[in-house]
Structure 1
Amino acid sequence: MLLFFYGTLLDPRVLERRSGERRLARRMRPARLEGWARVGLRGTPYPTLVPRPGASTPGAVLRAGPEALRRLAAYEGAQYRLVPVRVRTPRGPVRARAWMAARWRAEG
């Protein structure tokens, strides 16, 4: 599954530790999610995304296998769910999924 990262999983150390796969971060490619803003998740130091016309959120895409996906989902926790998104990459637009919290949990 192609995932779009925009927060803590952009850090290669966090990604590799949480996914259980060494050198996984080397496969990340830059991407941008148009029409969405990165905001804080209420009561935490973590981000989430909210739709916002004119906004743009930089990040990266990465294809994750089933075991890495399972581990990353456990890291993200029950407050986040995978949402289909369309991101821009240097090779053009692609469909991916991004972890987002419910809108009511977002700050701002």
Structure 2
Amino acid sequence: MPLFLYGTLLDRRVLARRSGDPRLALRLRPAALHGHARVVFRGTAYPTLARHAGGVVEGALVRPGPSAMAALRRYEGACYRLIPLRVRSGRGLRWARAWMVPRRMAAPDEWRPGLTHGSRPG
């Protein structure tokens, strides 16, 4: 099942560095997640997803190999969980997984790249 990326890993340089696979970014394919919003992971500068009626999160799908996936898991840390979701891509609706924190850890504020919302926890 592909990964749906929606935040810092959409930056091709960050994806290459954090995955250890410089070619992974070349395989990104546009996708959108309906019924959700990209919000702030409370107390950090990072995004997460939260259910939001009428919301749409633009992102990308990618299929990392085993070593890249292991590196991305380390980057995401213990708070994020891989959740299966239905996303719309050029091939229609399909299942993908996305990293999300538990709802209680999501702030209501919209996350945008480049904004400082706090610092990453220890």
Shorter-chain TM-score range: over 0.9
Q: Provide, for residues 33-78 of structure 1, a one-character-per-residue CA deviation record: whole Å limited to 9, x for no partner.
A: 0001110011001000011111110000001111111100000000
Q: Provide, for residues 65-106 of structure 1, a one-character-per-residue CA deviation record: whole Å limited to 9, x for no partner.
A: 111111000000001000001100022111100000010011
Find the aligned partners of 2:26 and 2:82 in 1 and give their Cα distance.
22
Letter in 1 for 2:9: L
Structure 1, unpaired ranges of 5+: none
Find the aligned partners of 2:11 and 2:22 in 1 and give their Cα distance.
13
Letter in 1 for 2:3: L
**Matched residue, 2:44:** 44
Secondary structure of 2:50's aligned partner: strand
- The CA deviation at 1:3 is 0.1
TM normalised by structure 1 equals: 0.97
- The CA deviation at 1:28 is 0.2
**Matched residue, 2:55:** 55
**Matched residue, 2:86:** 86
**Matched residue, 1:24:** 24
Find the aligned partners of 1:53 and 1:34 in 2 and give their Cα distance.
8
Letter in 2 for 1:80: Y
Q: Provide, for residues 5-35 of structure 1, a one-character-per-residue CA deviation record: whole Å limited to 9, x for no partner.
A: 0000000000000100112101000000000
Find the aligned partners of 1:22 and 1:6 in 2 and give their Cα distance.
18
TM normalised by structure 2 equals: 0.86
